[in-house]
Amino acid sequence: MTPEKKHILKHIYFILVITVISAILFVYPDFVSYPTVGLKGLIYKFLHWILTCIPLFLIIYLLSIHKYLFAIFMPLLTLTGVTIGYYSYFYKAALTPMIVDATLNNDLGTSLDMITPFQIIITIICVALSVGTVIYRFKRIVVNKQIIHFAIAGVIFTLIFSINDRVSNSFNQHFPVSLYYNLNEYRKLNKNRHLSRINPEPGINYLQNEELNIVFIIGESLRANNLSINGYQRSTTPLLSARKNVISFKNIFSEYTYTNPSVAHILTRADSVHANRAKTEKSFITTFNSCGFYTVWLANQDAAITYYPFMMECDTLIYARPEKSVYTYSDWLDEDLFPSFDQTLNRPEKAKLIILHTIGSHWYYNSHYSDDFSQFTPVTRSKIISQNTAEEIINSYDNSVLYTDFFINSIIEKLQHTNSVVIYLSDHGEALGEDGNWLHANDNEHLKNPACLIWYSDAYRIKNPEKILAISQNQNLKFRTDYLYHSILSAGNIPSKIIDESLNIFSTK
């Protein structure tokens, strides 16, 4: 073997050994709670893990080409990798734009409080090992024709990111690309937030100075026809069905079938003719602010560029689980919103607009309900749709509906003796096998019929009898989700001049 060939082989082994160790320590923790069934599932999981490690291999290859590049960046890559891997393994936490925000904007003391002695020991060992690889790179690895290696790495990098969106998205969710991706998402969120939007009702002259809570729950993937309150054969809403003052609007139509455009549409004056208002106008939150309401957004979902500006219109924004993403397959429950909801209710302001953005019935369903709600069995055991039966998927989905019944009912219980209205509207529905479709973001009638429920307290009924009469008369009418903007202003007794009465469910038709 020629000395040149020996150098190349040694270089390849060097990159492979470091990649395998890094892939196990920094990327595999994301796959520990990834549910699959049997040998086929294990092979699928293994291949997915290998696929997501390709960018890691390329970055280590790129760094290894030049010894000084490797000396500076390999310990840094290790430090970030071990931190992300540690939180993923021990806390089932993902890097998200909200975590980036918390890390950059919290004081350093709060961030340091999270660090444990065990984490410090693991970090020191890993960084020491990476320093060892740097010394080895200086002493034993020879890389000739470096420019060709840089070109090869660059071309492969470009190629793998142009395979398709699914593959790129998979890279974006895991180390090391997740680092760049989430920093960039955080930057985009903040950039978008500063774009000016039109206030659709400036100078409104009204001050709500009596006690009134308007609670808007944004649901997730809850289709109207899987609720027993709407006639579904399974008892999926036992608590809400037994409760008085609950009205279900089962004929709501959603134009959009996935979260990002739908939530922006719902919160603004956008309609089928003026869909662009979701991008140019402020939401109803600004009008509530102008009328003396304390406004708060309690989030149990990621922020997205389409609706982040509206979250920022609120006086307060609280993330219940900023470390969760839909790619972490562990408990992520809406009851985590209760502590901040309770704190909000205890605040001194009399009038409040409280928005709860729930994770509801988002796939992977089992992650979004606790064991007590696993009443319909057997449930799914794999995140790969084809590994589950239709019965298992529907059972898991219905258990998540049962959990949402508990969640909404718990919010209502906290408001029973106050002057309050709760409006629940899911962002879209879900496909459960109809025409071979599952989940959402495709085209299916069940995706366009989201669940919608209204609850009012006795105090609210006594003060607003005409509104209660109207919602009981209107409950079977058909409305687009456009109704929400006009109806929530009406529920808050805001004398808005831009309410379209034909879309106001709180006015008699």
Pick 201 or 427: Cβ nearer Zn ion: 427
Q: Which residues, 147 to 206, sit near Zn ion by CB under 5 A?
A: none
Which residue's C-beta sits nearest to Zn ion?
259
- Taking residues 195 to 234 in sequence order and writing x for each that binds Zn ion by CB under 5 A, - otherwise, the string is -------------------------x--------------
Q: Which helix (H) or strand (E) holds 50?
A: helix 38-52
Q: How many CB atoms lie within 10 A of CB 217?
A: 25
Pairing of strands 452-456, 351-357: unpaired
Residue 151 CB-half CA count within 13 A: 4
Which long-range contacts link 494-497 to residues 24+ away (Cβ below 8 Å)?
A: 494/204, 494/206, 494/208, 494/287, 494/288, 494/291, 495/204, 495/206, 496/201, 496/204, 496/287, 497/201
Pick 323 or 427: Cβ nearer Zn ion: 427
Distances (CA, A) of 172 to 178, 253, 332: 5, 33, 21
Work out whether 30 is an interface residue with Zn ion (CB under 5 A): no
Pick 259 or 507: Cβ nearer Zn ion: 259
Pick 405 or 427: Cβ nearer Zn ion: 427
Work out whether 301 is an interface residue with Zn ion (CB under 5 A): no
| Count of residues making up the chain | 509
Q: Which residues, 424 to 483, sit near Zn ion by CB under 5 A?
A: 427
Pick 334 or 427: Cβ nearer Zn ion: 427
Pick 201 or 220: Cβ nearer Zn ion: 220
Which of the ranges 157-165, 166-174, 378-386, 421-429 carries the binding residues for Zn ion, by CB under 5 A?
Answer: 421-429
Euclidean distance between CA atoms 58 and 23, whole angstroms = 12
Which of the ranges 44-52, 98-106, 256-264, 333-341 carries the binding residues for Zn ion, by CB under 5 A?
Answer: 256-264
Which of the ranges 230-238, 287-295, 397-405, 423-431 carries the binding residues for Zn ion, by CB under 5 A?
Answer: 423-431
Pick 185 or 220: Cβ nearer Zn ion: 220
Euclidean distance between CA atoms 57 and 397, whole angstroms = 38
Pick 61 or 216: Cβ nearer Zn ion: 216
Euclidean distance between CA atoms 239 and 217, whole angstroms = 17
Work out whether 259 is an interface residue with Zn ion (CB under 5 A): yes
Which of the ranges 1-9, 132-140, 420-428, 468-476 carries the binding residues for Zn ion, by CB under 5 A?
Answer: 420-428
Q: How far is the CB of 158 from Zn ion (least distance, A)?
A: 32
The phi, psi pair for 295, rounded to 5°, reads -115, 140
Q: How far is the CB of 403 from Zn ion (least distance, A)?
A: 16
Q: 362: helix, coil or strand? A: coil
Q: Write the DSSP symbol of residue 198.
A: B
Burial of 158 (0-12, 13-18, 19+ CB in 10 A): exposed
Q: How far is the CB of 426 from Zn ion (least distance, A)?
A: 8
Region for 268 from its dihedrals, namely left if φ exceeds 0, alpha if ψ lies in -120 to 50, beta otherwise: beta
Residues near Zn ion (CB under 5 A), total? 3
Which of the ranges 58-66, 257-265, 344-352, 460-468 carries the binding residues for Zn ion, by CB under 5 A?
Answer: 257-265
Q: Which residues sit at the interface with Zn ion, rule CB under 5 A?
A: 220, 259, 427
